[in-house]
Amino acid sequence: MKLKLNIWRQGYGATDGSFETYEVDASSDMSFLEMLDVLNDRLESEGKEPVAFDHDCREGICGTCGFVVDGMAHGPEMETTICQTHMRKYKDGDEITLEPWRAAAFPVLKDLVVDRSAFDRIIQSGGYISVRTGSAPEAHAVGVNKADADAAFDAATCIGCGACVAACPNASAMLFTSAKVSHLGLVPQGQVERFERSANMVDQMDAEGFGGCTNHGECEAVCPKGISVNFIARMNRDLLVAKLKGL
Binders in 195-234 for other proteins, by CB under 8 A: none
Residues 222, 71: contact at Cβ < 8 Å? no
Of 32, 119, 176, 195, the one binding other proteins by CB under 8 A = 119
Binding segment toward other proteins, per CB under 8 A, in 33-41, 91-99, 206-214, 228-236: 33-41
**What is the number of other CB atoms lying within 10 angstroms of the CB of residue 11?**
12
Using rule CB under 8 A, residue 43 touches other proteins: yes
In order of 75, 80, 216, the CA distances from 71 in angstroms are: 8, 15, 16
Of 160, 164, 171, 242, the one binding other proteins by CB under 8 A = 160
Using rule CB under 8 A, residue 130 touches other proteins: yes
Using rule CB under 8 A, residue 146 touches other proteins: yes
- Give the total of residues touching other proteins (CB under 8 A): 81
Of 17, 50, 209, 217, the one binding other proteins by CB under 8 A = 50
Residues 213, 221: contact at Cβ < 8 Å? no
Counted residue by residue, the chain has a size of 247
Of 57, 207, 233, 240, the one binding other proteins by CB under 8 A = 57
Query: H-type helices in 49-193, by residue range?
Result: 117-124, 146-156, 163-167, 174-185
Using rule CB under 8 A, residue 183 touches other proteins: yes
Binding segment toward other proteins, per CB under 8 A, in 15-23, 145-153, 205-213, 236-244: 145-153
Using rule CB under 8 A, residue 16 touches other proteins: no
Using rule CB under 8 A, residue 17 touches other proteins: no
Identify residue 226 by its one-letter amino acid code. Answer: G
Residue of 219, 221, 223 whose CA lies nearest to 173: 219
Using rule CB under 8 A, residue 149 touches other proteins: yes
- 21 vs 145 by CB, closer to other proteins: 145
Using rule CB under 8 A, residue 10 touches other proteins: no
Residues 68-87 that bind other proteins (CB under 8 A): 77, 80, 84-86
Sign of the torsion formed by the C-alpha atoms of 112, 118, 122 and 127 = positive
Binding segment toward other proteins, per CB under 8 A, in 93-101, 110-118, 164-172, 234-242: 110-118
Q: Which residues pair with 110 in a beta bridge?
A: 113
In order of 69, 163, 206, 220, 238, the CA distances from 172 in angstroms are: 20, 10, 9, 12, 18
Q: Which residues pair with 95 in a beta bridge?
A: 4
Of 15, 16, 93, 133, the one binding other proteins by CB under 8 A = 133
Alpha carbon distance 3, 91 (integer Å): 8
Residue of 87, 99, 126 whose CA lies nearest to 2: 87
Using rule CB under 8 A, residue 92 touches other proteins: no
Using rule CB under 8 A, residue 56 touches other proteins: yes
